Amino acid sequence: TKKYADVIIPRGADNLVAINLIVQHIQDILNGGPSKRQTNGCLNGYTPSRKRQPSESSSRPH
C-alpha cells in the first residue's frame, strides 16, 4: 500500500521507463555504487543531500 511504499510508480507495471530507471539504479548500486561522473552538481541525476533546517517539517504531508 502507499502507506508503506518506498517507491510509487504511476501506472504500475505499464510504466516501463520508470521500472527500467529503478532497475538501472539498483544495478549501479550492486555493481559498486554510482559512477564518478558528475554533471551540474548532480551525481547520476540525483542532487546531493542537504541538511534539513529546523524550520522544515520532518513529517510527510500524506
CA distances 44 to 36, 41, 47, 62, Å, are 8, 10, 8, 28
Which pLDDT tens digits describe the chain residue by residue (62 residues)? 788 888 889 998 899 999 999 999 999 999 987 654 444 445 555 555 566 666 666 665 55
Show the CA angle centred on residue 62, arms to residues 29 and 14, nearest 5°. 55
pLDDT for the residue 12: 86
- Number of H helices and E strands in the chain, helices first, is 1, 2
Cell of 6: 518506498
pLDDT for the residue 38: 44
0.75 exceeded by the pTM?
no
